Amino acid sequence: MTEDSLTISTSPSKSPLRFFLLVFALSLPFYLAGALTSLQLLPGIPVSGFAFLCPVMAAAIVVYQENRFAGVKMLLKRAFDFKRVEAKIWYMPVILLMPCIMVLSYGVLRLMRVPLPAPQFSVGTILALFVAFFIGALGEELGWSGYAIDPLQDRFGALLGALLLGAVWAVWHYVGLLEVDRSLEFIAWWSLGTVAARVIIVWLYNNTGRSVFVATIFHTMINLTWQLFPINGSYYDPRVTGLITAIAAVVVVIVWGPRTLTRYSNVSMKRQA
């Protein structure tokens, strides 16, 4: 089904709170599995990382309750909704912003005289990690962006909606972070960067026809650049990266405006279903 233009609106039946509660409930077995083993999927990613399946599962369940199989089909079709992106120039920040933030983080750490090894990775490693992280990001973004963000920003505005979703997104990761022995200070600074990253994701999402594919690519780049940071992300410092990401998010809000994070005066946007 194609609609030439459609004003984004929130269905009264949509419940982000019900979706969030379901995500956390579905995540409990994965949290438990991570607590019972010290195995890691990748350095810094516990077995509970398989909880990436929970946002899409929760979204599918609530969408089925609202619109039956037609709604689930429409949700899953958004995984590759790149046709929504009319201005291809937006792929530049989608792909390059996180590498730039990480390169700047590396430079700042060097200026702070932190003994950093030189980054070492191969093209094969980058491609393999990209595919793995894309699958994980897609499982998340079909829920976060495909279901939750639209009713949140319709009710609260783009910035507050992004901050609320970013806070839930961060808290959802806390169990996994504790399972790999991250300190409370690490988690606090990491949370700053994560909430700021969600603001950036919503900015990109809104300016690309509300494309879940775009949100997924940027999410993928967050994880990819972290894992490529020396050594397998072990030298990653959330204090530096979190502050830089937060500054980038503040610039976005100032330039594009907090209400919609776009140059549009309202949230009416061209969409393809």
Q: Quick: pLDDT tens for 179-228.
A: 999 999 999 999 999 999 999 999 999 999 999 999 999 999 999 999 99
Q: Radius of gyration of the chain from Cα atoms?
A: 18
Which amino acid, 116? L
Per-residue pLDDT at 119:
84
Of 1, 268, 209, the residue nearest 85 (C-alpha): 209
Q: Does pLDDT of 14 surpass 60? A: yes
Structure confidence by residue, pLDDT tens digits, 146-166: 999 999 999 999 999 999 999
Q: Helix or strand or coil: residue 147?
A: helix
CB 209 within 8 A of CB 86: yes
Q: Helix or strand or coil: residue 41?
A: strand
- Residue 57's Cβ-count burial label (10 Å; 0-12, 13-18, 19+) is middle
Per-residue pLDDT at 5:
34
Per-residue pLDDT at 228:
95
Q: Helix or strand or coil: residue 142?
A: helix
CB 98 within 8 A of CB 229: no
Give the distance from CA 123 to its chain's centroid: 24
Per-residue pLDDT at 121:
84
Per-residue pLDDT at 66:
85
9 band by pLDDT with thresholds 50, 70 and 90: very low
- Between the two ends of the chain, the Cα-to-Cα distance in Å is 6
Mean pLDDT of 1-12: 37
Per-residue pLDDT at 38:
87
Tell me the C-alpha distance between 223 and 194, whole Å. 11
Per-residue pLDDT at 270:
43
Answer left, alpha or beta for residue 260, where phi above 0 means left and psi between -120 and 50 means alpha: alpha
In this structure, of 90-99, 112-121, 129-138, the range with the lowest mean pLDDT score is 112-121
- Residue 50's Cβ-count burial label (10 Å; 0-12, 13-18, 19+) is middle
Mean pLDDT of the chain: 91
Burial 158-174 (b: 16+ CB within 10 A, else e): bbebbbbbbebbbebbe
